[in-house]
Amino acid sequence: MILTRPPLKCRELVEIVTDYLEGDLSRRDRRRFERHIAGCEGCTSYVEQMRLTKRLLGRIPEDSIPAEAREALLDAFRDWRSETG
Amino acid sequence: MLDRLRGGDESAFVELVERYHSPMVRLARTFVPSEAVAEEVTQEAWLGVLNGIGRFEGRSSLKTWIFRILVNRARTRGVRESRTVPFSSLEREGDEGRPSVDPGRFQDEGLWAAPPRAWEDQPEERLLSAETRAVIREAIDALPASQRRVIDLRDVEGLSAEEVVELLDLTQVNQRVLLHRARSKVRQALEDYLGGTS
Ligand SMILES: [Zn+2]
């Protein structure tokens, strides 16, 4: 027996968008999700925004290591090397 | 890299330190109460890396192994420090059950009243500008420690869900919930900055 569930609402979709992007929705929920965005411009934008958020997060450049910390670590490395031989 | 490091190659160590030191300090900072302590814990972790490198078996990546050493130290230190800081709320998220999007943006039936606008029209230079990055950084820094940790490792550092679950001793569900809350808030900050609703 297949129980048909009511269509997803926008308010619900924004709570499961990460499950969707992570590929963690069941096949059925995934279809329900995709059916909703196919007919909803707002949610299509929302999903795109979440994708872009993830992408931009991956583009933040790292701070460089402070010179002082770098020096201290190099000293530690040289000590370690002379101890281990 | 591993062989070079074990062989005492200084440039290999420098490479590692330049790549991972800053993310390690940020991660440490989510466990301990100050920047200075985070820096100290990270220095200790590097000593742990050097002393343990001979025993590293390569079952995980070198990166996650290094981060693991850091997390162990930072966590121990965090517990110790929190005893001297009463009412520590380091592990409290404080926003459990709060919706990802302001409820005022939906109609009563749960459909959008104020839908988000597509960002496709945003020029790439704007999206990748120093200003946008500062907005993202600020949004991350405003997150509770447990969320900051997860989004930083997953989205900024690019670790997999499995690696983060392992590293932070989370359940899969927990990892995903923390990631979801964190990403939702960063998205909101970006929306506030890039321009409102349609
Ligand atoms: Zn919708």
Walking along chain B (198 residues) 10 residues at a time, the average pLDDT comes out as: 90 95 96 95 97 90 95 92 54 74 95 92 90 95 96 96 96 97 97 76
- Dihedrals φ, ψ of B141, to 5°? -65, -25
Tell me, in angstroms, the distance from the centre of ligand 1 to residue B103's CA.
14
Q: B109 and B190: one domain?
A: yes
Domain CATH code at residue B7: 1.10.1740.10
Q: pLDDT digits over B29-55, tens only? A: 999 999 999 999 999 999 999 999 999
The amino acid occupying position A42 is G
Q: B111 and B82: one domain?
A: no
- Is residue B148 within 8 A of residue B30, CB to CB? The reply is yes
Q: B60 and B120: one domain?
A: no
Q: B132 and B176: one domain?
A: yes
Q: Is residue B30 part of a domain?
A: yes
Average pLDDT over residues A38-50: 97
Q: Is residue B147 part of a domain?
A: yes
Q: Is residue B92 part of a domain?
A: no
Does B119 sit within 8 Å of A10, measured CB to CB? no
Identity of the residue in B18, B110, B115 whose CB atom sits nearest the CB atom of A41: B115
For residue A15, what are its two tokens? 């709570």
Query: Taking CB atoms and an 8 Å cutoff, what residues of chain B touch A13?
Result: none
Number of domains in chain B: 2
The amino acid occupying position B174 is N
Show the domain range for B137: 103-194
Q: B73 and B152: one domain?
A: no
pLDDT for A1 equals 56
Q: Is residue B81 part of a domain?
A: yes
**What CATH code is assigned to A10-84?**
1.10.10
Q: Is residue B98 part of a domain?
A: no
Supply the ipTM of this predicted assembly. 0.90
- Dihedrals φ, ψ of A79, to 5°? -60, -45
Domain final residue, candidates B26, B60, B86: B86
Question: With pLDDT > 90 as the criterion, what percentage of chain A qualifies?
Answer: 82
Contact status of A64 with chain B (Cβ, < 8 Å): yes
Q: Is residue B181 part of a domain?
A: yes
Does B21 sit within 8 Å of A46, measured CB to CB? no
Of residues A14 and A60, the one with the higher pLDDT is A14
pLDDT for B81 equals 82
Tell me, in angstroms, the distance from the centre of ligand 1 to residue A38's CA.
9
Measured CA to CA, the distance from residue B136 to residue A84 in angstroms comes to 43
Q: Is residue B78 part of a domain?
A: yes
Q: B177 and B152: one domain?
A: yes
Does B179 sit within 8 Å of A77, measured CB to CB? no
Q: B76 and B139: one domain?
A: no
Query: Taking CB atoms and an 8 Å cutoff, what residues of chain B touch A62?
Result: 19, 22-23
The pTM (predicted TM-score) of the whole model is 0.90
Q: pLDDT digits over A46-71, tens only? A: 999 999 999 999 998 878 899 999 99
Domain CATH code at residue B172: 1.10.10.10
pLDDT for B189 equals 97
Q: B114 and B174: one domain?
A: yes
Identity of the residue in A46, A59, A65 whose CB atom sits nearest the CB atom of B22: A65
Give the burial string for B37-70 (b: 16+ CB within 10 Å, else e).
bbbbbbbbbbbbbbeebeebeeeeebbbbbbbbb
Contact status of A83 with chain B (Cβ, < 8 Å): no
For residue A14, what are its two tokens? 């924004």
Identity of the residue in B8, B112, B186 whose CB atom sits nearest the CB atom of A81: B8
- Is residue B197 within 8 A of residue A45, CB to CB? The reply is no
Query: Taking CB atoms and an 8 Å cutoff, what residues of chain A touch B179?
Result: 18, 22
pLDDT for B93 equals 66
Q: B74 and B154: one domain?
A: no
Q: Is residue B96 part of a domain?
A: no
Contact status of A45 with chain B (Cβ, < 8 Å): yes
pLDDT for B59 equals 86
